[in-house]
Structure 1
């Protein structure tokens, strides 16, 4: 049984709900928060409340936003006939940091995973098909992770979308910059060979 006061135990327990935060890290964070100034704690509380209460999913692409539709969907400079399909909002952020993609997005909110009981009906696939029909989409770029679940989701989407006359592409995968061939797994090497290009 812990000898900490009840409020500290509650804070440690609450912090341990966060992914990647074990009991020791939660304890360290709790004691750090306790030593913060009142202004900083108030700022943290306000930021948490605002993130929880004012952020929601865009009605068009399902990305996280604080306005509807989101800024990306509102941007008329973006290529409206190209949609990049991603697993979750963090993927949108990663792609946007590169600043090469100028199309729009569609966030599935996961991937097909029978082991976790997630099927196509649990994802935002129906909404994607509706967008294809209503927005004159010419190409779908599938950018799910190169995992078994990500590949299964990509294959499923391809079978749904291709009969609609829409071009379906997949992000190229392969060896990372600075990576060593000897440490690459077989799937990564296979994809690197399949995605090779002329120099």
Structure 2
């Protein structure tokens, strides 16, 4: 079956996106060809994101147009609590629960010796300095319930053992291997309110 090479390339690139299989990629590609205004809007948005969205040099979450994100700049936030998450998008998930008073630290992944992800490949080593400099009193570990997250949480607990901070983990009512992104805001809020102290 002949397909224009540029369209074929678009389909191949769409398949690289999470949750997009071959059929979905074809449907999206044909839709974009049919509705050029939508295609152009998406192209503009992608260029804008590429130019403006970076990672915050403090928390490693998303920033736009500068080195520090609005959350880290917000002096009204409770500087006493630092919430540790895996990915930048997890910050928005926790925020969606209406908990807008905390600060965050994004690890950028989870420890996995099998995949070659060691502590030096994550945003871990600046964590101790950040806790000292910003005088956090509680560290909330909000990671997905899976083996790699558990290993990462245990590593963090050991790393921060000698620091004068309370460490707690959120109580997620999800099966092993599930994703925090699947939770609704109410469940996230209850999971955080019901967090358990581990140190």
The TM tier, using the shorter chain, reads 0.7 to 0.9
Give, in whole Å, the separation in 2 of the partners of 1:126 and 1:55.
24
The aligned counterpart of 1:72 is 71
Give, in whole Å, the separation in 1 of the partners of 2:195 and 2:22.
45
The aligned counterpart of 1:9 is 8
The aligned counterpart of 1:53 is 51
Deviation of 1:120 (Å) = 1.2
Which is helix-richer, 1 or 2? 1
Q: What is the SS of the residue equivalent to 1:98?
A: coil
The aligned counterpart of 2:184 is none
Structure 2 unaligned segments of length 5 or more: list them.
176-190
Whether the aligned pair in 1 keeps the contact of 2:62 and 2:88 (CA below 8 Å) is yes
The aligned counterpart of 1:104 is 103
RMSD of aligned residue pairs (Cα, Å): 2.1
Structure 1 unaligned segments of length 5 or more: list them.
177-191
Q: What is the SS of the residue equivalent to 2:84?
A: strand
Give the total of aligned pairs: 178
The within-5 A match list for 1:183-198 is: none
The aligned counterpart of 1:42 is 40
TM-score by length of 1: 0.83
Max Rg structure = 1
The aligned counterpart of 2:156 is 157
Moved over 6 A (4+): none
Cα deviations by residue, 1:60-119 (Å, 9 ceiling, x for unpaired)? 100011033111111111111210000001211111001135210000001111221111
Give, in whole Å, the separation in 2 of the partners of 1:89 and 1:196.
21
Give, in whole Å, the separation in 1 of the partners of 2:86 and 2:25.
28
TM-score by length of 2: 0.83
